Structure 1
Amino acid sequence: MRRIGHWDSESPSPEALRSEQPFAVDALEFYQWLQFIFIPRLRFLLEGKHALPDRCGITPMAEEYYRAKQLPVSGLLSALSEIDRLLNGPA
């Protein structure tokens, strides 16, 4: 995300981070949701040895968000796809 300029040095407002909409679409850009909500939440769960979600479908949202952006996102999409695969388990 840093390589494509989608990494913010400052956190969004507390109000934006409290959004209850899927992917916080009403308050954040998708990359901000990844950076400030999704990644920290996964880190919290992993470090605390908490149960991980048993379903994840982040890649389609990322593909949709980045479709028209003309950015080199194949590495990011690959990483998100791997997260989906790991959390969803065997098909």
Structure 2
Amino acid sequence: MLYRYTQTKLAQIASELKQTGLWSATAPSVEAMASTAPFACDLMPFEQWLQFIFIPRMQALIDAGQALPSQIAIAPMAEHLWSEQAALAPLISTLNELDILLNEPR
């Protein structure tokens, strides 16, 4: 059940990135993809981290039947970056919903 709800939220995030024009047709560089900074913030924009790192890694965990993170806080970063952009409020809300879902006791 958790996997299904998480997949739904990941699909919503991807959809909202596309709807707001934040979805990228070009992948970040190999160097950027290898970043160890939180959210790869040193080498790529947050929306690219969501698209190219977060969503694929979460999907890989689901596909492998592995444990999903149980302490996650992505929405605060989105709020920090995008709180002034009303068009991104639904995306921030979806990220918050995912945070809440994954942080619930299991």
Aligned pairs (5 A) from 1:1-91: 1-68=17-84, 70-90=85-105
Cα separation, 2, equivalents of 1:9 and 1:71: 24
Aligned pairs, how many? 89
The secondary structure found in structure 2 opposite 1:2 is helix
In structure 2, the gaps of 5 or more residues are 1-16
The TM-score with structure 1 as length reference comes to 0.91
Considering Cα pairs closer than 8 Å and 6+ residues apart, tell me whether 1 or 2 has the greater RCO. 2
Q: Secondary structure at the match of 1:42?
A: helix
Please say if residues 69 and 102 of structure 2, whose CA atoms lie closer than 8 Å, have aligned partners that are also in contact: yes
Structure 1 runs (4+) greater than 6 angstroms displaced = none
Higher helix share: 2
Percent identical residues: 46
TM-score (norm: length of structure 2): 0.79
Structure 1 residue runs of 5 or longer lacking an equivalent are none
